[in-house]
Amino acid sequence: MFFKIAVRNIRAYKKRSIITVILLACTTALLVFATAYMDGSHERMIRSSVEIYPGYVQITHRDFRDSPSLENLIFDAGQVTAALADLPGIAVLTPRYESFVLFAAGNKAVGGMLTGIDPAKEGRVSRLWESRKQGEYLEETDSALVYMGSELARRLKVGVNDEVAFVGTGADYSFSADTLRVKGIFRTGLFDFDNRAAFVAKSYLDRVMGAENYATHFIVLPARPEEAAELAAAIGERLGPEYEAASWRQTMAGLVQAMRVDTIFGYITLGIIFIVIFFVVMIYTMLAVSARLREIGILRAVGTEPGQVWRMLVMESVLLALVSVVAGGLIGGSLAYYFKLHPIVFSGFEEQFKQYGLAMTDMPTAFAPLVIVRDMALMFVLSVAATLYPIHKVNGYRPIEAMHHV
Amino acid sequence: MVFPPRLARADEAAEIIKKVEDNLNGRSAVLKIAMIIKTSRATRTMKMESFSVGSEKSFIKITYPGKDYGITFLKINDAMWQYVPRIEKIIKIPASMMLQSWMGTDFSNDDLVRESSISRDYTAKILSQSDTAYEIELLPQPEAAVVWGKLVMGVAKPELLPQSVRYYDEEGVLVRILEYTEVKRLGDRLYPSRWVMLPQDKEKYGNQTIIEITEATFDVEIDEEYFSKRALQRFSE
């Protein structure tokens, strides 16, 4: 019965109902979309940063991250590979040997990072292969061929097939130098990386640097990237205290921290908006029910219990909230879905993004039905709660007062 | 007394430092050097010949181990070049690389270039003195492009030879200690023949680089040819 009366009342006070629904639906849509955008952009930033080069899980000698010296290399890469061969959850495991060297071509000499990689596996754990701009990517058997960052190549004034010499320190601290030929040039868009990184086949670099079976670190691509932290823990346990396995949350702690701060500020902003909306709904309901005081007084005078009036009014606000939240959820959800497929592009902001080490300008939203339902539920509770005080207030009048209320 | 005593003392300190540098570098010097680099993993030895004029110009040639034979370095004022026979290239060491380790030792490229210009880049003050030694504090001149926040040098009396240099960073943390020991007669003078660099930072603590001066001749004429870029390749053989 209350349902019927509530529906009838809602239809009778059309203007009030429509305004309430629009207000609540827009707010719900805003919340759903804002959450989707925040989650989506963070996810995108993390994936972009992690997948370009650092990788989801890094294995190093236990002291290497604190002091990345030649004393703290992995001196038995074969053993690490063997120990992890049957650990579930690892999609790809690949060693790298990073070395700081001086590149020289013509009269130009610039410092940079020369890294030995397993080309095939590396192609699966990082964006190196996909970022190729000119020439060819590396092959395992390549000797003295280098795959170089575009900015580094530009500074050295070399192109594909040109010669570049490098001078560095071998794993035994001896002098190591050789002349390389540029096989390919890549551009990830990450300026700092393109500006200093160059890659050669690890088998070749191992020979030149006296680093056979050594690695500065291993990169692991988890079968399920979202479980990187658990996998890192499992790897750490398997390898023992000699080694350290860190997920991107540790290796990229700065970025993770930045995301967290950004999320907090996002929620603070949304929170302020919701406090405003809460009071708007409350005041509006107050006005709406006050305008109906006479009606309520008459209802009471003909014998309706205060509890029945209360139930009727709450039912109205529940129905309105439900309609609004569903409508808002659908609108917000569709926007989230649309912008997931067609990411928002911030062209012209490349420089700002680069400062944060991000090589992209498109921000897809996240489309997570559960999160959307959570936001809808939150909005529902909030909008019903906002009407409780006004309803309570009008119920406090005695019938005779209410009827005479103008 | 025209100058107040404090100023005279500062002058005295500067005077001592200048003397120390002259004693170490001479007007010119030809040295044969062995460098022993000890890390927790290995010990290795390098040998080299060094030709220098004052503190401005020097030429170094690696003579041992065989695989590094003929690598040459040229330093003129603050610039540094190297020649590597394997790649047949003369490379100017860029400014950004100057703080990198020199051939894997505990010395940096910057040390080779800067070490001898202490009197130019730092203001000296005598901290204390005993009958046998001075302790001198060296603070960088405001405009000097140096990496250290402070140096404290021990100087032996009366020869005015360095005993030790303690290097502090800008936060005042001791980063490394260089000790000059085994003073003996080399060429025309008494000279510390063994220099030991002891890094104090966590990363390298326990490593050391020892420089042994095995032969030395001071104040002889050195062919100007050595101090040109051509020399890098020419004297590499």
Note the pLDDT tens digit of each residue in B182-226: 999 998 899 999 999 999 988 788 889 999 999 999 999 998 889
B11 vs B93: CA distance, rounded Å: 35
Under CATH, domain B5-234 is a member of which superfamily? Answer: Lipoprotein localisation LolA/LolB/LppX (2.50.20.10)
Terminal alpha carbon distance of chain A: 29
Which residues of chain A make contact with B202, given a CB cutoff of 8 A?
A: 66-67
Report CA-CA distances (Å) from A384 to A12, A24, A293, A329. Answer: 20, 11, 20, 16
Q: Quick check: A251 pLDDT over 70? A: yes
No. of helices (H) and no. of strands (E), chain A: 15, 12
> DSSP character for B94?
P
Residue A247's domain comprises 57-251
Report CA-CA distances (Å) from B151 to A143, A180, A210, B14, B154. Answer: 46, 42, 37, 14, 10
Work out how many domains chain A is built from and give that number.
Answer: 2
Statement to judge: residues A98 and A23 lie in one domain: no
Q: Does the beta-carbon distance from B42 to A172 stay under 8 Å?
A: yes
Q: Does the beta-carbon distance from A174 to B44 stay under 8 Å?
A: yes
Kindly report the three-state secondary structure assignment for every residue of B36-58.
EEECCCCEEEEEEEEEEECCCEE
Name the domain boundary from A193, A221, A251.
Answer: A251
A70 touches chain B (CB under 8 A): yes
Q: In sequence order, what are the residues at sequence separation of 6 or more whose Cβ sits closer than 8 angstroms to the Cβ of residue A180? A: A144, A145, A146, A163, A164, A165, A166, A200
The residue assigned the tokens 């002259």 is B22
| Nearest-by-Cβ selection for B91 from A167, A169, A175 | A167
Q: Quick check: B5 pLDDT over 80? A: no
Statement to judge: residues A214 and A273 lie in one domain: no
pLDDT grade, residue B1 (50/70/90)?
very low
Statement to judge: residues A81 and A219 lie in one domain: yes
Kindly report the three-state secondary structure assignment for every residue of A185-242.
EECCCCHHHHHHEEEEEHHHHHHHHCCCCCECEEEEEECCHHHHHHHHHHHHHHHCCC
Half-sphere exposure of B172 (CA within 13 A, CB side): 0
| A115 touches A197 (CB < 8 A) | yes
Statement to judge: residues A326 and A297 lie in one domain: yes
A383 vs A42: CA distance, rounded Å: 29
Across A83-102, average pLDDT: 94
B101 touches chain A (CB under 8 A): yes
Q: Quick check: A298 pLDDT over 50? A: yes
Q: Is the peptide bond before B158 cis (omega within 30 degrees of 0)?
A: yes
Nearest-CA distance A350 → chain B (Å): 26
Q: Does the beta-carbon distance from A178 to B204 stay under 8 Å?
A: no
Statement to judge: residues A37 and A86 lie in one domain: no
Mutate: best of B48, B80, B81, B91, partner A, most A CBs <10 A: B91
Across A31-37, average pLDDT: 91
ipTM (interface predicted TM): 0.74
C-beta atoms surrounding A350 within 10 Å: 15
Nearest-CA distance B221 → chain A (Å): 31
Statement to judge: residues A163 and A212 lie in one domain: yes
B36 touches chain A (CB under 8 A): no
Statement to judge: residues A184 and A219 lie in one domain: yes
Q: Does the beta-carbon distance from A179 to B94 stay under 8 Å?
A: no
Across A162-178, average pLDDT: 89
B203 touches chain A (CB under 8 A): yes
Statement to judge: residues A73 and A34 lie in one domain: no
Reduce the DSSP state of residue B128 to 3 states and report it. strand
A360 vs A127: CA distance, rounded Å: 13
Statement to judge: residues A119 and A195 lie in one domain: yes
Q: Does the beta-carbon distance from B97 to A102 stay under 8 Å?
A: yes
